[in-house]
Structure 1
Amino acid sequence: MKLQTHYHALLKLGIPIVIGQIGVIILGFADTLMIGHHSTPELAAASFVNNMFGLAIIFSTGFSYGLTPIVGSLFGQHKYEAAGQSLKNSIAANTVLAVMVCAVMYLLYLNMHRLGQPEELIPLMRPYFLILLASMPFVLWFNAFKQFTDGITDTRVSMWILLGGNILNIIGNYLLIYGKCGLPELGLNGAGLSTLIARILMVIAYLYLFFGTARYRLFHKGFLGGSINRTDFSLLNRLGWPIAGQMGMETASFSLSTIMVGWLGSTALASHQIMLTISQVCFMMYYGMGAAVSVRISNYYGQHDIENVRRTATAGFHLILVMIVATSIPIFLLRHQLGGLFTDSQPVSLMVAQLIIPLVIYQFGDGLQINFANSLRGIADVRPMLLYSFIAYFIISLPAGYFFGFVLNGGITGIWMAFPFGLTSAGVMYYLRFKHKTCTKSTVS
């Protein structure tokens, strides 16, 4: 099969995922814009809380990705009943994880004042934190359904639900942050309530589509008649925890950097939040295509077709490289204007313009690690990624951020200059592992 065929198939599968991810990006922009124009202290408070929950959400999403290669392989073999049962076990596993994540986040809430953040921001952070905490179980349940529909190549469903939920979230933000249409002006807490409501509605939409429409009838027998069993539950955990750890460590390199940025004050923290929002534009788009790579590879892997496994990974990386060029050029050219979109603070805008440079530098490494991390997930070879992630993000990236930022007095720019080192080293290690595992057809025997 020629690469052109893989390009076409990946675009057909990946574009709906990318569009859904763009909806998440737009929501992140809207949140930051609305909160930033309501008040700069609220923007700084949102930066810290959103980054802490960003770590929890990415970790949880990574766990749910364990379902994708399972369902993708079963779907490729037309084992629909088994795929439905896997979804049921995934929902159970995600529920257990939701309890664990909420417990850890609540401990973080109780110790928030010990993390060296500006004292004037703590009263703003606390209620917003609790509202987002209440929404976490719905994030995990949504993830289970999304990975199932993506795994059976029905990626348009998650696209429409994400877009609809994010549109409702943006409308809710406007109404509740600023107090429109007779509603109270809740500021940052209004953004949190809007997010909670949207996440609940998105899960309800998935429940309706799965049980109330004929399109998923093939999977109902396995879901309704199948049991929550040790075999499926254990398999989901064996795949899910390494992926969660890999994605969690990657996100932790950004989230823990947020704590270091907080040591530099509210201006740096507000700038950091804006930059993370901008970086989401790139990351989420690349990850949408990466998810398509994972689904296609899992289908081929279930059919023992290693040649097309390799070609899919190659085609996916080519497409992500095109996306890197398409996003990096306008971001670089508009670097002096981007900060002003989010805040009226001139110091924050100037700091954002400086941080665009390291952002552009690390795009290649980000694309490389996204493509080959998803390729490894597609062939269910996920355990080695834990070690590679630990080396890249905890041995290389975080210490480099502290060294550049505080030992060399580079400030927030120094902290951001560490990200290219971590992301690129991770990408190289994932690529070498994938190449090793797919060099012979014996890997699927």
Structure 2
Amino acid sequence: MFADIRRIASLAWPVLIGQLAIIAFGVIDTVMVGRYSAVDLAALGLGSSIYVSVYVGLTGVVLALQPIAGQLFGSRHHAQIGEEVRQALWLAAGLSVLGFAVMFFPGPLLTIAHVPPALYERTELYLRIAAFGLPASLLFRVYSALANAVGKPRLVMILQIGALFVKVALNLWFIFGGLGLPPSGGPGCALASTIINIGLAAIGLLLLARFEEFAPFGIFARFCWPDLSRQAALLKLGVPMGLSYLIEVTSYTFMALFIARFGTTTLAGHQITGNFGAVLYMTPMSIGIATSTLVAHALGANQHDAARTLARHGIVMACAVGCVYALVALLLRPAILAGYTTDAAVIAAAMPLMPIMLVYHIFDTFQTASAFVLRAYKVAVVPTVIYAIALWGVGLGGGYLLGFNIGGGVPQWLTGARGFWAANAASLAAAGAGLFLHWRTISVRRERAYQASQAAAVDSA
């Protein structure tokens, strides 16, 4: 077990550092804008929730490359990896058109939230600026998916750390103004991120073309047009993955849209709580990605027993770390909230949400690790159904009933934003149980099928 944990940790820590650098974008945005104005902070929370929904949904489709390339790498079919990357780049370009349209014209989504006029204009401007960085973000995700698939996450981490330093400087300039630029508040965050995303995409493509680690794949050795059969294979896995991501994120996004009805202060408190939860999420996600990479390699090499063992150890590792994080954060929550904002009303709104969010986080670690293991097996359809029932049904539906006290019998402590967080915690518990049980069924079935094929081959010989 400890040998597997060391292998997982060796891949997980670069992913974690890189993802913390990226999630620090959101932390920096929240902290800096929180010191600019409460209105801009609320607009940032709403705008970033919509952006993340679009980005993560489309990213999930592109990330189908990772388990495909991982299994090909495990079976040493390097030339096929290059072809899959070329097709993934075409797919990212096509998805960018859809994402840009949704973000540049966000009116229907903002109407759902009954956004006050003071927030509407700032949120719309944020999304329109961010739309121009979306294509570059998706192209960079192709690069990061390949690097993770072949066990080279440090090549992604270095770029993400560098981007963080640039983000701090650009945020200070654009949010608060200077050097001839007027202060732009929340939308300045979107402008900084857009510039950085374009730079990351350019560097990622250059590394794919020139760096020796990717040379065996011959990614740009020849030009090719989209291949319908390969695009179909990517979409067959990627669309359910994207839907899973989209369901997970939109359950949070619509929670923010509904919580917006409780007022700017409550929404700002929710934004801080959710942002800190996203920071905690980076560790189980990193463990999940690392576990998925090793499981995919084992499956590509037809080592099914090793794949099951690695998967089990990765899930246990993620859950253990998640519990430790929750305990420490519970003890330090006053200091954590004070680090986000000096607004006493916003801190008071966030304080009762934190313990519920930490329970949410524990269940989130379980379902995240289980979901990544299933993706290594190229299984995505059933997890999507599980997510839809749990997160939209139990989480969002239950949150609406509790938060708005539908029926009038909900205890006071479970109404408002607390009701939405409590229901979402329950939904993640249900999703985690369903995903884990499905993985156990799939892994046993795959191993038995492989053993039967080997026995048949021996008999025929």
TM-score (normalised: structure 2): 0.92
Gaps of 5+ in 2: 454-461
**Is 137-146 or 404-413 further displaced after alignment?**
404-413
**Whole-Å separation in 2 of the counterparts to 1:101 and 1:9:** 36
Give a deviation string over 1:122-160, Cα, whole Å, max 9, x none: 121121110011111111111111101111111111111
Is the Cα–Cα contact under 8 Å of residues 81 and 223 in structure 1 kept in the other structure?
no
Is the Cα–Cα contact under 8 Å of residues 286 and 323 in structure 1 kept in the other structure?
yes
SS in 2 for 1:184: coil
Please state if 1:217 is matched with 2:215.
yes
**Whole-Å separation in 1 of the counterparts to 2:229 and 2:340:** 49
Structure 1 residues 284-433: aligned runs within 5 Å:
284-407=282-405, 408=410, 410-433=415-438
**Whole-Å separation in 2 of the counterparts to 1:314 and 1:224:** 40
| Alignment correspondent of 2:36 | 38
| Alignment correspondent of 1:229 | 227
Give the drift of 1:326. Answer: 3.3
Give a deviation string over 1:195-253, Cα, whole Å, max 9, x none: 11010011111122121333321112575255531221111000000001111101111
SS in 2 for 1:362: helix
Gaps of 5+ in 1: none
AA matched with 1:205: I
TM-score (normalised: structure 1): 0.96
SS in 1 for 2:222: helix
**Whole-Å separation in 2 of the counterparts to 1:265 and 1:119:** 13
SS in 1 for 2:404: helix
Equivalent residue pairs, number: 443
Is the Cα–Cα contact under 8 Å of residues 82 and 222 in structure 1 kept in the other structure?
no
Please state if 1:53 is matched with 2:51.
yes
Give the drift of 1:162. Answer: 1.3
**Whole-Å separation in 1 of the counterparts to 2:137 and 2:313:** 31
* Identity in percent: 23
AA matched with 1:130: R
SS in 2 for 1:418: helix
**Is 101-110 or 147-156 further displaced after alignment?**
101-110
Give a deviation string over 1:367-413, Cα, whole Å, max 9, x none: 11111100110010111111111111111111110111111351111
Match of 2:237 among 236, 239, 242: 239
Give the drift of 1:428. Answer: 0.5
AA matched with 1:145: Y
**Whole-Å separation in 1 of the counterparts to 2:366 and 2:100:** 32
Give the drift of 1:309. Answer: 1.1
Match of 1:21 among 5, 13, 19: 19
**Whole-Å separation in 2 of the counterparts to 1:221 and 1:129:** 33
SS in 1 for 2:444: coil
Which structure is higher in RCO with an 8 Å CA cutoff and minimum separation 6?
Answer: 1
Is the Cα–Cα contact under 8 Å of residues 277 and 358 in structure 2 kept in the other structure?
no
| Alignment correspondent of 1:189 | 187
Give a deviation string over 1:14-40, Cα, whole Å, max 9, x none: 111011011122222111000000111
Query: Root-mean-square deviation (CA), in Å?
Result: 1.6
AA matched with 2:55: I
**Whole-Å separation in 1 of the counterparts to 2:289 and 2:267:** 31
**Whole-Å separation in 1 of the counterparts to 2:246 and 2:227:** 27
Is the Cα–Cα contact under 8 Å of residues 265 and 346 in structure 2 kept in the other structure?
yes
| Alignment correspondent of 1:7 | 5
